[in-house]
Amino acid sequence: MDEVKPKRGKKGKGNKGKVTVQPKVEVEEEVDMTTPYRGKPSKFFVMHPAATAPDVPDAVNPMNLEMNPEQWNFIFKHYPEYGTAPYDMMTWLFGMALANEELYSKP
């Protein structure tokens, strides 16, 4: 991303030396909406086991997996209906992305 540099305000009566900061413009990444995994590689969907075991086993997450912030953002942006139980969806998306990679990989 480009770094936004502060611009000096116009010289005038009540504006001596004040610095105005321009807000950062967030650029949307290009997404392939024709696939369920939105063009992401299969390694994006890999979840790792949690470092600590929960006191009470979670019925929604029986394998005790953790998702990183990018994976949470992906689920809430593209599949908000799975936000309460995203682990099965992430596993399915991993399988779809991996199958596509294996299908179109060079022998």
Question: By C-alpha distance, which of 97, 9, 3, 6 is closest to 45?
Answer: 97
Report the pLDDT value the prediction gives residue 14, as an integer from 0 to 100.
Answer: 61
Neighbours of 56 (CB within 10 A): 5
Q: Is the whole-model pTM more than 0.85?
A: no
pLDDT in tens, 41-86: 999 999 999 999 888 888 889 899 999 999 999 999 999 999 988 9
Domain ranges of the chain: 33-104
Residue 10: per-residue pLDDT: 58
